[in-house]
Amino acid sequence: MNLDYIVREPENITSTTPVLFMLHGYGSNEQDLFSFRETLPNDWLIISFRAPRDTQFEGYSWFDIDFNNAENFIDIDQAKESFNSVLESILKIINHYGLTESKVHLCGFSQGGMLCYALALQHPELFNNIACLSTYPEEKLLDGIVKDKKKLERLRFFISHGTDDAVIPLEWGRKAADLLYDLSCYFTFREYMSGHGVNQKNYMDLMEFFSKNA
């Protein structure tokens, strides 16, 4: 499935132009994280995907969520379908722009972040910097992850979570630290006095992460 997306192209695009792919959260759209572009490096290509499923109030989702069922919180078949669509779209876009030597980054919020964990840990050879915001690593999406530390060492994770997140509990978010520690991945895990969102301090730390690792 070809995903819709919006793009900010830098003035010059070469085989080494860095690219950042963005995956929004449930009920949102491709404009949401795209607002970050103002403070991201000017020479980056920025792609923000729209999730394929409609939700209420003109939003979109990567998969259905059942807030009343912690055991089956996500629709795993839909999630895997979205995973494949995102991966396919990323590879097509990299090919379209001829980004044969570029650094490829990911930024995902909430359910978009769940897909970022799965993409990075199943295909570590493709990615570099990964920001996972207000999310958690969903075990049902991580059945095929790479355990080879040599392949994982190029990855850099920035993880943030609000202490008062009422949508995805902080305890769930903290699972990422245990997982990435066990895999010997490089990561920063930060908690902020906020709910299910990105506050000013979180935003500034995120921008610093991307500019420092540019």
Q: Each residue of 65-83: pLDDT tens digit?
A: 876 766 677 889 999 999 9
What does pLDDT average to over the chain? 94
Which of the two residues, 202 and 66, has the higher pLDDT score? Answer: 202
Q: Is the pLDDT of residue 142 over 90?
A: yes
Average pLDDT for residues 162-189, to the nearest whole number?
Answer: 96
- The residues pairing with 5 across neighbouring beta strands, listed in sequence order, are 49
Alpha-carbon distances of 55 from 27, 34, 61, 129, 179, rounded to whole Å = 6, 19, 6, 29, 31
In 47-77, which positions are buried (b, 16+ CB within 10 angstroms) versus exposed (e)?
A: bbbbbbeeeeeebbbbbebeeeeeeebbbee
Let me know: does 101 contact 16? Beta carbons within 8 Å. yes
pTM for this structure?
Answer: 0.96
Position 116 confidence tier, pLDDT thresholds 50, 70, 90: very high
Q: Is the pLDDT of residue 37 over 90?
A: yes
Residues in the chain, overall count: 214
Query: What was the pLDDT predicted at 70?
Result: 66
Average pLDDT for residues 7-32, to the nearest whole number?
Answer: 97
Unique residue bearing structure tokens 């403070």: 39
Position 214 confidence tier, pLDDT thresholds 50, 70, 90: low
**Helix ranges (DSSP H) in the chain:** 31-34, 76-97, 111-122, 149-152, 170-182, 200-212
Task: Supply 117's token pair.
Answer: 């964990």
Pick from 8-12, 72-76, 108-112, 196-200: least confident = 72-76
